[in-house]
Amino acid sequence: MFLYNKTTEIKPGKGWRDKDGVLHPKNWNIWSDDHKKTMNIEEITLDAKPDSRFYNWIDNGLSGISNITDKSLDKYNRQVQARDSDGEDIWLDKDNKEILGKDIKTGEGKNYTAKMEDYKDSDGNTVEVKGIRPEYIQKVKDQQGSLLAQTDWAIIRKADAGTDIPAKIATWRAAIRTKATEMEKAITDAKDMDAFKALFVVWDKDGKKSGILYDWPELEE
């Protein structure tokens, strides 16, 4: 993306006005690099956002991503950014010196880390939040239920008319339950975020698969 005067985003194919009110043409992007520099235009690359399954972060817009931390697998105290008495966000530089958000120049946000503190409810009590472990165990249960529902008709027919459940369906349903148990145990046993991330199915450059979530058995035709 392109910034004019370090604060205003301008887009190729669209005209824009500078600080003096001069309207520039929509094909301004054909200007040479030297002319863009003279016009105080710079191209910046925004930080890629981390994987939201595993990380928390603060998106500072044009200033980039900061405060990247692992999500907690288990229960933890809810955190919020600290503010001063006037409600201004408080940040920390590399020496842990405090600085207010309003005093950070555009594009320099990545040089600072948000000062965090425990969130308190209206009674002054620290608020606890569930970690992601229970969330992913519930996803296993939900997916298992959804998969089994596809062949519930065979169970109902057996109960209503006594018709035998096709062997392939019975075998598949048992495999689904076994796999769900394995997944839930793997999530429960994950000791840290690295172990948890390793549970998700990925393929390496040689096509070798690793991981267990959410790799369900398929019903044979």
Q: Is residue 217 part of a domain?
A: no
Give kind and range of the element (H or E) at residue 81: strand 79-81
Q: Is residue 16 part of a domain?
A: yes
- Rounded to whole angstroms, how far apart are CA atoms 112 and 114? 7
| Better-predicted residue by pLDDT, 184 or 124 | 184
- Rounded to whole angstroms, how far apart are CA atoms 62 and 80? 21
Q: Is residue 219 part of a domain?
A: no
Render pLDDT for 39-54 as a digit per residue (tens, 0 to 9). Answer: 999 988 878 889 999 9
Tokens standing for residue 146? 């959804």
- Confidence class for position 76, pLDDT limits 50, 70, 90: confident
Q: Is residue 218 part of a domain?
A: no
Residues 153, 197 within the same domain: yes
Structurally, the chain folds into a number of domains equal to: 3
- Rounded to whole angstroms, how far apart are CA atoms 62 and 25? 24
Structural domain of 103: 55-129
- Cα dihedral across residues 120, 69, 90, 63: positive or negative: negative
Residues 88, 120 within the same domain: yes
